[in-house]
Structure 1
Amino acid sequence: MVSQFRKPARRTSIHPAAPAFLVLWALACPAAAEPGKASAPIPAATLALMQAKGTTAAAPVLFRAYKKESEIEVWKRAGGGRFVHVKTFPICRWSGQLGPKRKTGDRQTPEGFYTVPQRQMNPNSSYYLSFDVGYPNAYDRAQGSTGSAVMVHGVCSSMGCFAMTDHVVGEIYAIAREAFAGGQAAFQFQSFPFRMTAANMARYRTDPNIAFWRQLKEGADRFDATGEEPVVGVAAGRYVFAPFKDPAKEALAAAHRSTEEARIAALVEEGSAAIRTTYSDGAQHPFWAALAAKGTPLGDVSRPEALAYAGQEVVVIAARPRPVQVAEAVWSRWVAPDSALSRTRMPGFVPSYERAGPAFAPLVTTYAETWPRLVGLSLSGVLPPPAGLAPPAIGPVAQR
């Protein structure tokens, strides 16, 4: 959902040789409703990145968003058929907490796998340019979730959207537009709470959303393993992913999934900390926060006071690192009398297995083993009581 803002001020053009601070100002400041904004070309530097990765502007595109890191990645299909990472854009503002969107007005930026056909592109957006990510999808509807008009848009204000600023969304829009022109019918928009690594899954293992995030990780792992867009469905109220047609790719996905599960289990076994991350109302990328701290205007920013309380980590389970186990063959040599370490740090140390036993050890052992047995026999009446034990005390004890 998006809210209403005043009309942005007109942006002035920046010469390529302008000072760096003017370039940053142009990135941050809102742009006017320019007539040709929806047809503006992809910047030459981005086209060069695509060429270096073996892809083109017309190739299919896929976007991946990460809320905690406040980033949106651009992936393009290369000549070999795999999607390759081309560029990462900083999110200027997202709202809510980590976790899926549930209902209208909860300010939650959604998480899941979404499909964006060309009809969801909006060249006449009130927020410069935008596209609807497709919330609610089949999974959201199966959960009873409500809401609509969740966008990737300009400006720096969010009520559940990915707010990118005008300049940034203009480039994202151009990248998507050229993919449609190249024949792509719809692109996939993957939205995650954080980068779906084994370490993060272990860290958030006690979060109430962890079962949902495991579903997201399954899809993320399939993409990471193969570089191919996962085919997403919904069954019994959960995300499901169709097997790849190529058995070799399906084997890669299965192997990667198994490896990740083993890593998560190992991190938990090793005693890694479990945390939750809380927000007053979402966050923004450090790039934009640094610009704002320097006094660079970002235009309309939603609830700027909430940004001071963004990303507060609460430790639910403290880390319990396991001690390093050293083989006996190693540590015994460290402490041996002829060891350099023993001579310098432990003079006179003799391992217990090389020491002579205490002179009275046999007697102490015999006493410790024999005395309780004698007392027990005496209490049962088999033997007379030991010297010093009065007869009146034996009866009550034996009766218990």
Structure 2
Amino acid sequence: MNFELKAQDSKSKARAGVLTTAHGEIQTPIFMPVGTVASVKAVHQRELKEDIKAQIILGNTYHLYLRPGTDIINGAGGLHKFMNWDRPILTDSGGYQVYSLSNNNKITEEGVKFKSHIDGSRHFFSPEKSMEIQRNIGADIIMAFDECPPYPSTYEYAKNSMDMTHRWLQRCIDWLKENPELYGFEQSLFPIVQGSTYNDLRKESAETIASHPCDGYAIGGLSVGEPHDEMYAMSDLVCSYLPEDKPRYLMGVGTPANILENIALGVDMFDCVMPTRNGRNGMIFTSEGIINIKNKKWERDFSPLDPNGTSFVDSDYSKAYLRHLFAANEYLGRQIASLHNLRFYLWLVNEAREKIIDGTFASWKNVMVEKLQTRL
């Protein structure tokens, strides 16, 4: 993997770069659609490439481990071949799912015991097991196994959790050194900064993580219910301690406005289920604001779904038609909304990149953030 900075905004910390992997280049800042179980919900891989223009997608270690299982993925020759996706893939470590399934897990120094959300069967993830699973999945970028503390957390809990995450990182690194890649290309490990919303812990974690010479670095634990101002404060602090010549990935964030604000703080990579999940519930993100397509006001609005949109669905379908599909509970409505939202997110980060390069990002961002939060 190689990361090259191409431009930096003079009035913020926003950066434009190129991240090169075995499966292609990624222009940053970038948004990664979430393909939890080797599928971005309601979207074909061809649509991801040709319409949404996704450069990289995310897979989920926990879910892929449970089904179809690493033996099947390995038998197919890795996740790229299994799902017919020839562009970069990032897999998370399973740590966030451990957090989200907190009622069904037990965390110790060795790892995490948990019950499957599918059938209640018992399983165990350790740093070594997470690396083994991600080796078999074969993503270009793999995440170190971490514990994601809840919000709010006591200082003591957050510190103990952070310290364990650091110890787990060394175990991940040691396992990878002893176990070569399976599919003929290098996988890049990204460690994860933790520390909840405590400044000194975030600083300590960022410095500890940065002391390991890795291809990139992630910021975790900032999509767990904390106020946006605290998210931005932690992102700003952490980015000031992470290496400037490596990509920075903010995990699980967020709204379009969240993404622009964090780009301004120096973050390069994002993922979130929001465009597809909210789209399936009728929320449409646009450059002029947010549409709840289920509202009666759109019932006789025969104008294009989004006259400024760059997906084929934006001109092919009207607001009235999409509202009708949701009212009739037709799955096509959820597909159209998902396609639009994902394309909008990719358009947004590409626009941010262009504004960084031409030197107008900061003023453009301020105008856009206000628009993006408007309810239409």
Query: TM-score normalized by structure 1?
Result: 0.22
Structure number with the higher helix fraction is 2
Query: TM-score normalized by structure 2?
Result: 0.23
